[in-house]
Copies of this chain bind each other. A is one copy, B any other.
Amino acid sequence: MRTPRTKPTITAILALLWVALTCCVALAQHPDSLPSWNDGPTKSAIVQFVQDVTKEGGPKYVRPEARIATFDQDGTLWCEQPVGQLEFVTWRIKQMASNHPEWKDQEPYKAVLEGDKGFLVNDLTHNHGKALMELVVATSAGMPIEDFNRSVTEFLDSARQPKYNRKYTQTIYQPMLELLRYLRTNGFKTYICSGGGVAFMRVFSEDTYGVVPENVIGSFAMNTFKQVDGRWQIVKDKQNLFINDGLTKPVGIDQKIGRVPIFVGGNVRTGGDIGQLTYSHTNPLPNFQLLINHDDDVREFAYSEKDNASLNAAKAGGWQVVSMKRDWKRIFPF
């Protein structure tokens, strides 16, 4: 039964190649894509959903073009104690105050200059951040976008989150970074859909989250294209101000994407994500809702929602609730 001399050599080479290939595939599949998530129902549900929608020929398969995932930012992707953009605006108001003596006696500037944190937190929680957006406009309208971007970078480089003494772009949630990457690896397009300003978030979204600028949805005003110092530039302006929060988040998503997401992540605090979570639930395609509950006062902050609306909606809608305490092995990359 001996075969000619050449055959076993080729067979052996092919076999070796096969073994090498199989090993590579196994190695590539084996590592846990969500190592900072504790094993349990939340992690299993996420993995099951992703496996279902990516299984070609399966009953829940979703073509890659329709694999849209949107995530709130404050409290969902990074720590919102305090809210980064609120700190940025405060920093800008203080920078600009010497040229605006009238601000001393004029709300909301007065509150900011006097260090009354409660004023804007209250505005954010109960008024969809309308005063904050006014401040954003006041501190940026008329600025060429490149100057605005530079000022955001300067703030992010110099400011520190007080509890951790880290940059705001470092107090991001490691489990969520892994989830964003896991979804992208599986053909999803990941978007941020936040109440924050689009221009503010775009400065760091790609480096921080791997979310390209065109995938950032947020509050915005329409800018102006005009010549400044003889150069055509986009200049920050205040027309058509749109606040992307609560029931307007689906509107922001529709304006930007024109498709209903199949995966949405938000968090408990103001009820601001109920809109986009509900919206994804209207998708006739398989869909998934993730609601983060801030229940870890040791590693992060514990806080809840006045009327419990987000958790109630999660219960009614069958959304997955993340307990940061129970579901997350670690909170931050550091």
A189 CB → nearest B CB, Å? 8
Q: How far is the CA of A240 from the CA of B242 in the complex (A)?
A: 8
Q: Which residues of B contact A254 (CB under 8 A)?
A: 145, 223, 225, 234
Q: Which residues of B contact A224 (CB under 8 A)?
A: 251
**A9-43, CB under 8 A of B: which get 1 and which 0?**
11001000000000000000000000000000000
The interface on chain A, measured as residues whose beta carbon lies within 8 A of the other chain's beta carbons, has a size of 46
Chain B residue at smallest Cβ distance from A250:
B225
A202 at the interface (CB under 8 A from B): yes
A282 at the interface (CB under 8 A from B): yes
Q: How far is the CA of A254 from the CA of B198 in the complex (A)?
A: 10
A308 CB → nearest B CB, Å? 20
CB of B213 within 8 A of CB of A259, answer yes
Name the interface residues of A249-304: CB closer than 8 Å to any CB of B: 249-251, 254-259, 275, 278-279, 281-282
CB of A213 within 8 A of CB of B279, answer no
A63 CB → nearest B CB, Å? 11
Q: Which of B13, B225, B275 contacts A248 (CB 8 A)?
A: B225
Q: Which of B10, B199, B202, B282 contacts A9 (CB 8 A)?
A: B10
Residues of A within 8 A of B (CB): 5-6, 9-10, 13, 65, 68, 145, 189, 198-199, 202, 206, 212-214, 216, 220, 222-226, 231-234, 240-242, 247-251, 254-259, 275, 278-279, 281-282
